[in-house]
């Protein structure tokens, strides 16, 4: 029986209501000849599974792109597939979130990886993997995928560059973990580096770091964000300057001049720069001025602290000179 006769037989079965046998015969036909448009068209009406329907529609459009009804059907099938996939992904992510909340990290990561194998477009799942995976290489791969999904996003690009920096510089990663209070993770990095140490000197240095961190773990050091640290370090000197200005004007704000206001702003700015230089941990400022990981180099921090201290001290010097020039009026006031 040639191909045309088999197609006619399958069509006759379909018209008589024998849909299962007709579908099976059409499937055999297209397996032997993937360019049989008529068989594919009949399969679109006989198939149930949306994935199979998409394959059939794509085959018809490959053979004849002018089939508008098939193109419309394919568009609708893809829309429904995307919607169903999103709903299934959200359900799976909610179950993974429950596992993470219960502390079952390994099982959650296993299910998360399986989910991403089935749907590599799930950006929320990639973000969850970045957040919870302990493996720096896997974190880099996840961020690379996130960036590939949205290549114009600068924040995602920075995150990818940052994790690549840390992968190549594990000591910097250990410092980062330590500054965030994640002592256990920092210790693991030093232990891995110690296993690969080339020489007794390097091994001893890494062992000292491990012992130091173990002591910190016992002391339960609390992590303080760089922003809070900068704010705390920035506020002291401006308050001192303001107190000196108030004393200078005799608590009478009518004598508060425009120059004093400019000097006060200079002190705030200089104090802020000095505070930023004192904090080497990750924050946005160092991402702009320092390296991609958001950490400032020693040289850059020295430049910043010198600049900030100079700007900060200049108003104090000017205030001191003004006080010195006004010193004779004190005696006039006392007399």
> What is 125-174 written as a DSSP string?
HHHHHHHH---HHHHHHHHHHHHHHSTT-HHHHHHHHHHHHHHH-HHHHH
- Across 164-179, average pLDDT: 84
Q: In this predicted structure, which of 102-111, 208-217, 247-256, 258-267 has the lowest mean pLDDT? A: 247-256
Buried b (16+ CB within 10 A) or exposed e, 159-169: bbbbbbbbeee
| Per-residue pLDDT tens digits for 30-89 | 898 888 889 999 998 888 888 899 999 999 999 999 999 999 999 999 998 888 888 888
d(CA 42, CA 35): 13
Average pLDDT over residues 238-264: 85
DSSP 196: T
12-16, 32-36, 133-137, 178-182: least confident range: 178-182
pLDDT band at 307 (very low <50, low <70, confident <90, very high): very high
Q: Report the pLDDT averaged over residues 279-285.
A: 67
Higher pLDDT, 128 or 3: 128
Q: What's the predicted TM-score (pTM) here?
A: 0.59
Question: 3-66 is classed in which CATH architecture?
Answer: Alpha Horseshoe (1.25)
- Is 244's pLDDT higher than 60? yes
pLDDT of residue 291: 62
Domain ranges of the chain: 3-66, 179-223, 226-334
Q: Kindly tell me if the per-residue pLDDT of 334 is higher than 80.
A: no
pLDDT in tens, 189-218: 988 888 888 888 888 898 898 898 888 777
């Amino acid at each position: 029986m040639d191909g045309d006769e088999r197609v006619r037989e399958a069509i006759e079965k379909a018209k008589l209501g024998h849909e299962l046998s007709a579908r099976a015969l059409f499937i055999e036909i297209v397996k032997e000849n993937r360019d049989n448009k008529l068989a594919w068209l009949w399969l679109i009406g006989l198939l149930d599974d949306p994935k199979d329907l998409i394959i059939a529609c794509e085959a018809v459009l490959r053979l004849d792109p002018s089939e508008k009804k098939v193109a419309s059907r394919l568009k609708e099938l893809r829309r429904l597939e995307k919607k169903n996939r999103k709903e299934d992904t959200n359900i799976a992510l909610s179950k993974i979130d429950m596992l993470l909340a219960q502390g079952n990290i390994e099982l959650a990561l296993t299910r998360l990886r399986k989910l991403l194998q089935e749907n590599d477009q799930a950006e929320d799942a990639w973000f969850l993997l970045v957040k919870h995976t302990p493996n720096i290489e896997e974190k880099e791969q996840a961020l690379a995928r996130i960036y590939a999904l949205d290549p114009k996003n600068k924040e995602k690009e920075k995150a990818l560059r940052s994790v690549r920096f840390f992968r190549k510089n594990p000591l910097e990663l250990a410092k980062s973990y330590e500054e965030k209070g994640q002592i256990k993770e920092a210790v693991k990095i030093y232990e891995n580096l110690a296993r690969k140490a080339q020489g007794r000197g390097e091994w001893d240095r890494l062992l000292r770091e491990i012992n130091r961190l173990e002591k910190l773990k016992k002391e339960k050091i609390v992590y303080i964000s760089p922003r809070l640290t900068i704010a705390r370090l920035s506020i002291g000197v401006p308050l001192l300057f303001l107190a000196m200005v108030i004393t200078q004007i005799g608590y009478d704000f009518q004598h508060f001049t425009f120059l004093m206001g400019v000097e006060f702003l200079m002190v705030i700015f200089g104090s802020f720069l000095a505070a930023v230089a004192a904090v080497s941990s990750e924050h946005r400022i160092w991402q702009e001025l320092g390296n991609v990981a958001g950490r400032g180099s020693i040289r850059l921090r020295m430049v910043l602290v010198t600049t900030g201290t100079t700007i900060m001290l200049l108003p104090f010097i000017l205030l001191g000179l003004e006080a010195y020039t006004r010193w004779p009026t004190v005696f006039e006031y006392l007399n």
